[in-house]
C-alpha cells in the first residue's frame, strides 16, 4: 500500500443490507474522499506553481546592460568620488549592471563659470564601480566619449 493510496480496509468495514431501501450512508461512503485523494490532486498543481514562480524569478533578474537600482553603499561611494576626485556635485546618477562591475552615468550640476548648460558634455561623467571583497567599491572615471559610443558596459 502506497503513501497516497486510499485505505481499502476502511471501505470493507461497512457492509450494507442489499434489501434495505436506505442508501444514504452507502452513497456517502462511495463519494467521501480522504486526505490522500486531495493530496494526489493538489500536489501536481502546487509543484507547477512553484516551478513557474522559479522560472519567473529567473527571467526577471537584470541582465548585462540593464538599468538597476544601486545599493546605498554604492550610491554613497559614487557620490563621494564625484565630490572628492572630480570636485563636482552629482545631480543625477544612473546605474547599469555589467559583467562583474557597474557602469554609472552621472550628470553633474553645471558650474557658474564658465557658463554651461546642464546637458553639456562637460557636465557628464561615466564611471565604473567594482565591488571589492571588503564590501567597498572601487570607483574609476572613464574618459569622455562621443554620443555614439555612450553605451552602457562598453569601456
What is the value of pTM for the model shown?
0.66
Assign 1 to helix, strand or coil.
coil
Task: Check residue 131 and give its pLDDT.
Answer: 92
Task: Check residue 143 and give its pLDDT.
Answer: 84
Task: Check residue 113 and give its pLDDT.
Answer: 79
CA distance linking residue 47 with residue 92, whole number of Å: 44
- Per domain, the residue ranges of the chain are 19-59, 67-142
CA distance linking residue 42 with residue 132, whole number of Å: 47
Please name the residue that has the C-alpha cell 442508501: 23
Let me know if 145 is exposed, middle or buried by CB neighbors in 10 A (0-12, 13-18, 19+): middle
CA distance linking residue 54 with residue 16, whole number of Å: 51
Q: Distance of CA 62 to CAs 50, 57, 87, 96, 135, Å?
A: 21, 10, 32, 9, 21
Q: Could you read off the pLDDT of 126-141 as tens digits, one per residue?
A: 999 999 999 899 999 8
Task: Check residue 2 and give its pLDDT.
Answer: 56
Q: Could you read off the pLDDT of 100-136 as tens digits, one per residue?
A: 899 999 998 888 778 787 778 788 899 999 999 998 9
CA distance linking residue 37 with residue 32, whole number of Å: 10
- Annotate 73-117 with DSSP letters as a single string: HHHHHHHHHHHHTS---EEEEEEEE-SSSEEEEEEEPPPTTTT--
What is the distance of C-alpha 85 from the center of its chain? Answer: 34
Question: Under 8 Å CB-to-CB from 89, ≥6 apart: which residues?
Answer: 82, 83, 108, 109
Amino acid at each position: 500500500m502506497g503513501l497516497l493510496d486510499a485505505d481499502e480496509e476502511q471501505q470493507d468495514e461497512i457492509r450494507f443490507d442489499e434489501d434495505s431501501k436506505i442508501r444514504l450512508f452507502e452513497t456517502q461512503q462511495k463519494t467521501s474522499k480522504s486526505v490522500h485523494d486531495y493530496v494526489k490532486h493538489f500536489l501536481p498543481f502546487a509543484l507547477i506553481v512553484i516551478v513557474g514562480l522559479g522560472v519567473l524569478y529567473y527571467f526577471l533578474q537584470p541582465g548585462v546592460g540593464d538599468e538597476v537600482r544601486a545599493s546605498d553603499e554604492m550610491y554613497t561611494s559614487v557620490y563621494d568620488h564625484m565630490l572628492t576626485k572630480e570636485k563636482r556635485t552629482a545631480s543625477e546618477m544612473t546605474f547599469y549592471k555589467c559583467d562583474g562591475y557597474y557602469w554609472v552615468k552621472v550628470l553633474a550640476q553645471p558650474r557658474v563659470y564658465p557658463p554651461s548648460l546642464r546637458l553639456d558634455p562637460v557636465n557628464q561623467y561615466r564611471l565604473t564601480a567594482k565591488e571589492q571583497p571588503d564590501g567597498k567599491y572601487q570607483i574609476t572615471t572613464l574618459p569622455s566619449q562621443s554620443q555614439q559610443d555612450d553605451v552602457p558596459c562598453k569601456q
